[in-house]
Structure 1
Amino acid sequence: MALPFFVYGTLRPGEVNHDLLLRGRTRSEEPARLADAVLYQGPGYPYAVGEAGGGPVSGELVTALPEAYEELLAELDRLEEYVPGDPRSLYERVERKAVRAADGAAVRAWVYVAAPAVAARLRARGQVIASGDWRARE
């Protein structure tokens, strides 16, 4: 099933990876929030970590053009260094519900969250972005 993507860091509109990977390949991009997650500052990019009662994390819900979906999914997995089942992965791609800002509807979407080993390190000594918005981290 071709799910949209919830993006919260360098894939957001105006950020470097949006321009490199998403520009011209999306049908829609709209503000959204992800509940039950905590946002951490990483070296150069953020990590969302699933936490009951955490969030919300601010971002966008991005829907790919149907003809670009499969290639885009593979490219995003490479960008996020996600390999299913590989304990060295930095992120995991998981299905979560993102809430669209415009109408408040919850939409199932792919989200790249910190892989278990990375999440454990962040919980132990990571820097939380209290606002939940990577753009407002400074």
Structure 2
Amino acid sequence: MAIEKPYTDIPGTIVFDSDQSRKGYHLNQFCMSLMSADNRARFKADERAYLDEWAMSEEQKQAVMARDLNRCMALGGNIYFLAKIGATDGHSFQQMAGSMTGMSEEAYRDMMLAGGRKIDGNRYVSEWEESAKDKNHG
């Protein structure tokens, strides 16, 4: 029996639940390995060879190499584990968050200091789908 997940209807949000945890287990374990200076050095020396030591999907490996953190999250990555990749690259969490939103670090910081994103607009993915249907039939 499938568990109802009403939070999947929130646009732009990936909730790290048990399904995401299972999907991203090896990706997140790779990220945690970067807490070791020796592992960080090995990763930076040959990213592909280091990633191939992990039982990650090819899509997960490609997302890591592209530093596409949004894709990593969609593939089961937990942001707190993924932060280890940013730290390995010398980036702050704020820089990473800015890149994930398509904003500069400064624009992201300013937005957050001003109270975060505006809540105007659609609040549910289903509203986007309904709006698209209305436009196609109108």
Structures share a fold, TM > 0.5?
A: no
Greater relative CO (CA pairs within 8 A, separation 6+) = 1
The structure with the largest strand share of the pair is 1
In terms of fraction of residues, the more helix-rich structure is 2
TM-score, with normalisation over the residues of structure 1? 0.25
Structure with larger Rg: 2
Q: TM-score, normalised by structure 2?
A: 0.25
